[in-house]
Amino acid sequence: MADNLISSTNADNVQTLERNNGTRTGRNLVSLNSLLNPRTTKLINNKVFKGNESEFRQFIQHLESHHTWQDSLKLIEAELAKRKIKPNDQGAVMLSNVVYRRYYPHDDGVKID
């Protein structure tokens, strides 16, 4: 069982990821708000949520309750479909990248700023 546990340190916090049949679930995940800088927040809010700060913040809060990348991705895909936004649009890509980095913080190939 210990072989399936991966621990890593990321700046101010420790993140533990557990493998479960190829799926990663997180404990002590960083807050999405800590990954969102003002520029990224504005871009996602404007492009995906049409400037509605309240809807944007509610969605981020909802994402906080999801403990796997796969669950979060499903939620993002549903939100984009509801808003008729293409997954490859700038705001959609940035939103996905920020959430992805929550679960895979050391994947530097995914840019969030």
Closest to 83 measured CA to CA, from 42, 50, 53: 50
Closest to 28 measured CA to CA, from 41, 19, 18: 18
> What's phi and psi for 26, nearest 5 deg?
-110, 150
pTM: 0.76
- What the block records as the tokens of 111 is 């840019």
| All structural domains of the chain with their residue ranges | 30-103
Three-state secondary structure call for residue 18? strand
Give CA torsion, residues 37, 42, 45, 47, to 10 deg.
-120
Per-residue pLDDT of the chain (113 residues; tens, 9 = 90+): 333 333 333 333 333 344 443 334 556 799 999 999 999 999 999 999 999 999 999 999 999 999 999 999 999 999 999 999 999 999 999 999 999 999 998 888 888 87
In the 8-state DSSP scheme, what is residue 106? T
